[in-house]
Structure 1
């Protein structure tokens, strides 16, 4: 089964919106500073991840107990979704999209090119930003690929596409 990219884009955008709405219902008072869509290198397993300022502060304080953190470690904890408080939010809502990608792959089709997938993911986050403009005004949104050598480039490019210039520039220069 070849992937219908238009359907994939609609389904993914709807999953992102539904997952974020569910997050807001449960954690609406959280001080979010970043959210991302992550995917594996093979284009499977899309998930929404969010971190908050209080969790980041707590996490850094815990790490500082063991040894003083370097600025590089602080940036890593701030921007690495693997270290965030909320991972794979609304995982069940992404199941139809992830199943579509898996079925295509199992039937011998290249589910979708990674750069096409990350573009679709960026558009889904852009839609989220448009709909939740006030709530996400100071929140950096980006796309990442787990365990991928070129993840930082994808993160930076997506951040530029999704975020207002000030947020995008701060994100792109996060590692110096």
Structure 2
């Protein structure tokens, strides 16, 4: 297990009693953990894609309250599938010894009617660990990670919009 560390998630989910869509990543990257919030790598296109789909300005990288407001104003919750795991750096492919989050923490207080996974790893982990508890099937969307170089930002926004827009109020 050279290079592996057991890492806890480190920060709270974003949700409130009006959240109708739950977006799940796999596990925070090294930069996200350092910034203490989701999608902290400025090369990750998540915040630009979400702002575009939601028809809002892109929040500044360091403006965590604006990022929370962006999601909550549109009924979107955000979390990751993994509460803690053994991982090498930011590599989703290296995730082992998963301790999943307690998804009921959100679904028991929010009227979540759709789960969207940001990438294949989040989708596989959700299907294995969380779908049996939530009873909600997830739709897997293309990853906004810079590692998914085959998908440009425009194409990502179109794919995310096609799925997310009909779920919004």
Q: Taking structure 1 as the reference length, what is the TM-score of the superposition? A: 0.36
More helix by share: 1
Q: Which has more radius of gyration?
A: 1
More strand by share: 2
Q: Taking structure 2 as the reference length, what is the TM-score of the superposition? A: 0.37
